[in-house]
Amino acid sequence: MNFEYTEKSKALQAKLDKFMQEHIFPLEKEHAEFVEKNLWKHFPKLEMLKELARAEGLWNLFLPKSYGDLSPGLSNLEYAPLAELMGRVTWASEVFNCSAPDTGNMEVLSKYGTPEQQKQWLEPLQAGKIRSAFLMTEPQVASSDATNIETSIVRDGDEYVINGRKWWSSGAMNPSTKVYIVMGKTDPTAQRHVQQSMILVPAGTPGVTVVRPLSVFGNYDSPEGHAEIELKDVRVPVSNMLVGEGSGFAIAQGRLGPGRIHHCMRLIGAAQRALDLMCKRVAMRTTFGKTVSKYSSIRQDIAKSRCEVQQARLLTLSAADKIDRFGIKEAKDLIAMIKIVVPTMTCNVVDRAIQAHGGMGVCQDTPLAGFWVYGRTVRIADGPDEVHMYQLGRNTVRQATTEV
């Protein structure tokens, strides 16, 4: 494996880094103050930043070149360091139209959408004009096993009727979110992995009720938010079905792979920035007559963090490389590995950085608290750690016992 970045990726890294230095980092404080005081409202400078990013060609970089004309032409391996740079500020990826859950939803629509579905939803998503949500998880069942999903999707003439309750629908509180991809069951009597289907539901369709926003460690993640949503006799045309009845589980597998690797790429950026901030902080503080950076315990924390960030980075690049060369299915073990390793690594590195900052580390004066929350929640979102370990362990035993 050769992880030397291509010239194209290096040129984009330089451009993206400059953009971040000039336009994003200087607005971090203003953004934090705005979102704290203005629930469910957009940061007023966001649209201007998006226009600038688009004009600079820093737009939709996540969509791999296997998507042909829809893609700006990067491989996952080329995109990884760019996502890492974006991850240094928790809200930056949206500026480049590279944020969750839209990236996963755009991949689904690019891969499985009909020309009409693409015109109606993919085009405005790719233009950054609207946003979207992915409704899979349900409060009443253990949703880390997607076969438990109970929402019903029943055909009635030219329409499907949808009934169910979802929660943790990220982005659904956002006033710009205009469409949901909903997972439910079209045939609960079919074989376990073909009972499910995915269907497009425009936000605001009669019968859709956004019940409440869920908080994450006391914060609403405004303006995206995470909603609990009731679907009661919601009717949509049959043309809103993705692929066909029974394809939901297969689509979910395809969607969650890229989503997971993107989270990991961004988390590495967050962890790297936490380490950088830690180094700067301990170099400028003195206790008991000694610069804090000179204490052995602090140096050990820094050294351990540097090793862990680089290990996670290389593992993530290796997953990206495998997806590029063999596809999502073949890369599933590596995707499980990074999903197990990277969020925990981020929590550990950020935790050390918080400790080294003292009281400052837990307040709004650094991005560290936000980074820790991001790492901690990704240990659950897109499949909890244990589920990835359960599957990776099973595959590892299977490979070891079937190989000769």
Ligand X SMILES: Cc1cc2nc3c(=O)[nH]c(=O)nc-3n(C[C@H](O)[C@H](O)[C@H](O)COP(=O)(O)OP(=O)(O)OC[C@H]3O[C@@H](n4cnc5c(N)ncnc54)[C@H](O)[C@@H]3O)c2cc1C
Stretch that binds ligand X, among 10-18, 122-130, 276-284, 383-391 (CB under 6 A): 383-391
Closest contact distance (angstroms) between CB of 338 and ligand X is 16
Selection from 119, 118, 116, 188 nearest residue 149 by Cα: 188
- Residue 134 engages ligand X in binding (rule: CB under 6 A): yes
Alpha-carbon span 111 to 224, nearest angstrom: 25
**Chain centroid offset of residue 306 CA:** 23
- Residue 253 engages ligand X in binding (rule: CB under 6 A): no
- Residue 72 engages ligand X in binding (rule: CB under 6 A): no
Stretch that binds ligand X, among 11-19, 132-140, 200-208, 315-323 (CB under 6 A): 132-140
23 three-class SS = helix
Closest contact distance (angstroms) between CB of 364 and ligand X is 20
- Residue 124 engages ligand X in binding (rule: CB under 6 A): no
Selection from 376, 385, 373, 371 nearest residue 272 by Cα: 371
Question: In the stretch 227-246, what mask flags binding to ligand X with x, by CB under 6 A?
Answer: --------------------
DSSP for 329-345, written as a single string? TTTHHHHHHHHHHHHHH
Stretch that binds ligand X, among 63-71, 131-139, 235-243, 277-285 (CB under 6 A): 131-139
- Residue 258 engages ligand X in binding (rule: CB under 6 A): no
Alpha-carbon span 306 to 395, nearest angstrom: 30
Selection from 371, 185, 197, 195 nearest residue 267 by Cα: 371
- Residue 105 engages ligand X in binding (rule: CB under 6 A): no
**How many residues at the interface with ligand X, by CB under 6 A?**
22
Q: Identify whether the C-beta of residue 213 lies closer than 8 Å to the C-beta of residue 225.
A: yes
- Residue 210 engages ligand X in binding (rule: CB under 6 A): no
Q: What is the 3-state secondary structure (H, E, C) of 283-323?
A: HCCEECCEEHHHCHHHHHHHHHHHHHHHHHHHHHHHHHHHH
Q: Identify whether the C-beta of residue 350 lies closer than 8 Å to the C-beta of residue 274.
A: yes
Alpha-carbon span 375 to 343, nearest angstrom: 5
Interface residue with ligand X, options 216, 243, 279, 369 (CB under 6 A):
216
Closest contact distance (angstroms) between CB of 284 and ligand X is 34
Residue list 361-380, contact with ligand X (CB under 6 A): 377, 380
Interface residue with ligand X, options 70, 136, 328, 335 (CB under 6 A):
136
Nearer to ligand X, 57 or 393 (CB): 393
Alpha-carbon span 97 to 127, nearest angstrom: 8
Interface residue with ligand X, options 39, 48, 127, 142 (CB under 6 A):
142
Nearer to ligand X, 81 or 383 (CB): 383
Nearer to ligand X, 80 or 149 (CB): 149
Q: Identify whether the C-beta of residue 48 lies closer than 8 Å to the C-beta of residue 39.
A: no
Contacts of 99 (CB under 8 A, 6+ apart): 93
- Residue 220 engages ligand X in binding (rule: CB under 6 A): no
- Residue 93 engages ligand X in binding (rule: CB under 6 A): no
Kindly list the residues in this chain that would bind ligand X in the complex (CB under 6 A).
Answer: 101, 134-137, 142-144, 168-170, 216, 226, 377, 380-384, 386-387, 390
